Amino acid sequence: MTVQLIATQPFNDQKPGTSGLRKRVSVFQSPHYLENFVQSIFDAITAPNGATLVLGGDGRFHNQEAIQIILKMAAANGFGKVLVGQRGILSTPAASCVIRKYQTYGGIILSASHNPGGPQGDFGIKYNMANGGPAPEKVTEDIFARSKEITQYRIVDAPDIALDVLGETDLHGMKVEVIDSVADYAELMGSLFDFAAIRQLLADGFRIKFDAMHAVTGPYARAILVDALGAPADAIMNAEPLPDFGGGHPDPNLTYAHDLVEIMYGEDAPDFGAASDGDGDRNMILGKHFFVTPSDSLALIAADARLAPGYAQGIAGVARSMPTSAAVDRVAQELDIPCFETPTGWKFFGNLMDAGKVTLCGEESFGTGSNHVREKDGLWAVLFWLNILAIKRQSVETIVKRHWARFGRNVYSRHDYEELPSDVANGLIDHVRASFASLTGKTFGAYTVKTCDDFSYTDPVDGSVSQKQGIRILFEDGSRIVFRLSGTGTEGATLRIYLEAFEPDRSKHDLDAQDALAEMITIADDIAGLKQRTGREQPTVIT
């Protein structure tokens, strides 16, 4: 076994997006593509000799092959040990948990999250720091800079490591320890939530349905919901992780999790439904015939956090991404705790959590989490809800409506236009940006524009500045429209339009969000020339 230095040439497109580098599988399969990026990570992070790394992925097509390559490269780059999930499996929150628990130098997570998998699908890779969280922009920029000047990578010439049996193997002087993918994570969940109360809730006949969408959460959900909490085996659907996610789009929302949605809106609907995404960090929460928006879910968890043992002491503060609704801001105000507004992407929450400024964080994109790890966490949110339900013994709908009655309702929706030609999407954003001056003070029906800007964020902990994080059109009554381009897509551009209106009037809380926001939707079209520029009559996905 020898270390090989392989000559290579830079690719110019290895810039990490909102959450790591995501490309078509075929791109990652092209010679040196994965290797170049992994070497760029190793070059950028300058780990000391003998450092320990965590490695795992969501099990999508190409996961195992990539893991073998990364192990051999880690050995050639002087790592002392790699903790790798059994069969290469680690959900994103589980990887974050393992990094923290064993105090490793960092970790590599292989996932393209909610993007489809399979030979024609997407693959992805991201680096997480010693705190268990996604690398901050400074580090992803270093990685990108390295990728543009790389001339060689290091790899040992060795046979593949068996990943199905737990235990330790030697790889050119580096230890490879295959660990149980679920155990550490399940133990952490047991320490945060009142499992006895949830077990009792389920024993009393409360029916749940969890859709793992043939992605990574199947084994986690089975160990926790079925084995530890006593839910019947059929409470979990699509529980077998498949390399192509069964041909589906593992994104837990009303469009892509339609099987679950049909059940939850059907005649004999269970009391509680939930789904997670490809890598297990997102969650969708449903009640019987009822959908909980992620923004409301965050607000509600914040309001009732003390009901869970891990949060019984109260929460230090909350943070939400800018496009997420201000529902949680109202809760923070009442609890008299700080509320931070960050750019999109979990990497912006890390500093706030490390500094003890916030306990709970969330994004409108079905992401909720806390300082128990440094990633958003799908099953954690499901367990938090079950914990709240086990104590309150009210329906999901009642809990949400009582919350609205108390705090008011931030009516919210996101409209996505996927796979637009890049020049169309950029042209639309430029157009809105160029209209700031003429929009300010302009009245559209009942709404008058107060200000418009490009959202920029100064990290209160390290002072780093992130600019152009989405365009905000803010109206005088607190309503707003946000325009943003996705940083996780792999084909063309995805335009996201976030719509929010505050409704204090209880008698209007039963309105469907699309109806309540109808006027805002028209205004968005007016401002951006949506239909005319995109040639589309409808968004691809409405959440």
Distance, first Cα to last Cα, the chain: 52
- Say which residue the tokens 């209880």 belong to: 506
Residue 367 makes contact with ligand VG1 by CB under 6 A: yes
Contact in structure between 527 and 432 (CB atoms under 8 Å): yes
Q: Which listed residue (19, 91, 96, 113) is catalytic?
A: 113
Per CB under 5 A, 363 contacts Co ion: no
Please give the residues from 496 up to 515 whose contact with Co ion meets the rule CB under 5 A: none
Distance of closest approach, residue 430 Cβ to ligand VG1, in angstroms: 18
Could you give the CA distance from residue 127 to residue 274 in angstroms, rounded to a whole number? 28
Interface with ligand VG1, residue 344, by CB under 6 A: yes
Handedness of CA 6, 22, 56, 48 (dihedral sign): positive
* Residue whose tokens read 């992994």: 38
Does position 19 interact with ligand VG1 (CB under 6 A)? The reply is yes
113 annotated active-site: yes
Task: Return the amino acid letter for 107.
Answer: G
282 versus 472: smaller Cβ distance to Co ion: 282
Helix axes 294-303, 327-335, angle to 10 degrees: 10
The reply to whether 114 sits near ligand VG1 by the rule CB under 6 A is yes
- Contacts of residue 463, Cβ cutoff 8 Å, sequence gap at least 6: none
Nearest C-alpha neighbor of 22 from the set 92, 112, 145: 112
Which residues in 273-302 contact Co ion (CB under 5 A)? 277, 279, 281-282
Binding-residue total with Co ion (CB under 5 A): 5
Q: Which of ligand VG1, Co ion, none does 77 bind, CB closer than 5 to 8 A by kind?
A: none
Q: Is 122 in the site for ligand VG1 (CB under 6 A)?
A: no
What's the closest the beta carbon of residue 113 comes to Co ion, in angstroms?
Answer: 3
Please state the closest distance from residue 482 (CB atom) to ligand VG1, in A. Answer: 11
User: Which is closer to Co ion, CB of 77 or CB of 96?
Assistant: 96
The partner in contact with residue 487, picked from ligand VG1, Co ion, none with C-beta cut-offs of 5 to 8 angstroms by kind, is ligand VG1
Interaction partner, residue 222 (ligand VG1, Co ion, none; CB < 5-8 Å by kind): none
Binding mask 492-531 for ligand VG1 (x = CB under 6 A): ----x-----------------------------------
Give exposure, 105-122, as e/b (b: 16+ Cβ within 10 Å): bbbbbbbbbbbbbbeebb
Q: How far is CA 143 from the centre of its chain?
A: 21
Span near ligand VG1 by CB under 6 A; candidates 183-191, 210-218, 465-473, 485-493 = 485-493
Cβ atoms of residues 361 and 320 within 8 Å: yes
> CB of 117: closest distance to Co ion in angstroms?
12
What is the rounded CA–CA span in Å between residue 365 and residue 277? 11
Binding mask 277-306 for ligand VG1 (x = CB under 6 A): x---xx------------------------
Phi-psi region of 211 (alpha: psi -120 to 50; beta: other; left: phi over 0): beta
Question: Is residue 217 a contact residue for ligand VG1 (CB under 6 A)?
Answer: no
Residue listed under structure tokens 């367990």: 383
Q: How far apart are CA 29 and CA 66, in angstroms?
A: 9
CB nearer to ligand VG1: give 344 or 371.
Answer: 344
Containing H/E element for 497? strand 493-503
- Identify what 19 binds: ligand VG1, Co ion, none; CB under 5 to 8 Å per kind: ligand VG1
Strands (E), 160-281: 167-171, 174-179, 208-211, 236-237, 272-276
What mask of x and - would describe binding to ligand VG1 in positions 224 to 263, judged by CB under 6 A? ----------------------------------------
Region from 291-299, 361-369, 424-432, 501-509 binding ligand VG1, contact rule CB under 6 A: 361-369
State how far the alpha carbon of 289 is from the alpha carbons of 147, 268, 389, in Å. 49, 10, 16
Give the binding site for ligand VG1 (CB under 6 A): 18-19, 113-114, 277, 281-282, 321, 344-346, 363, 365, 367, 486-488, 496
- The residues that are catalytic are 113
Q: Which residues form the interface with Co ion (CB under 5 A)?
A: 113, 277, 279, 281-282
